[in-house]
Amino acid sequence: MSEKSNVKTEKAVNNSNLFSFFREVKAEVKRITWPSKDEAKKAFVAVVIFTLIYTLLVGGFDFIFQNLFEMILKLK
C-alpha cells in the first residue's frame, strides 16, 4: 500500500515541477527585451548582405581552386 502512495506522490511532485518549470519559462519570456521592427529589419538586412558576400567569396575561391587544380592535373 505504501508503494502505491509513493508512486502517486512522485507523480504529483513531477507534475508540480513541470508546471513550475513552464511558469518560470513564461516569466522569463516576459522579461526579454524584444527588438523593434526597425532594429529587426536592420539586422535582417545585415545578415542577408553578409550571407551574399560570404557566398560570393566562397564560390569565387572554389572556382579559382577548381580551375587551378584542373590546369595542374592536365600538365602531367
State how many domains the chain has: 2
The residue segments making up the domain with residue 58 are: 33-76
Domain identity same for 48 and 73: yes
Question: pLDDT, tens digit, for every residue of 10-51?
Answer: 666 667 888 999 999 999 999 999 999 999 999 999 999 999
For the chain, how many residues are written?
76
36 neighbors 44 (Cβ within 8 angstroms): no
42 and 67 in a single domain? The answer is yes
Instruction: Write the secondary structure of the chain as one string of H (helix), E (strand) and C (coil).
Output: CHHHHHHHHHHHHHHHHHHHHHHHHHHHHHHCCCCCHHHHHHHHHHHHHHHHHHHHHHHHHHHHHHHHHHHHHHHC
40 and 67 both lie in a single domain? yes
> Does the pTM exceed 0.85?
no
Question: Is residue 2's pLDDT more than 90?
Answer: no
Domain check: are 38 and 75 in the same one?
Answer: yes
User: Above 90 in pLDDT, residue 76?
Assistant: no
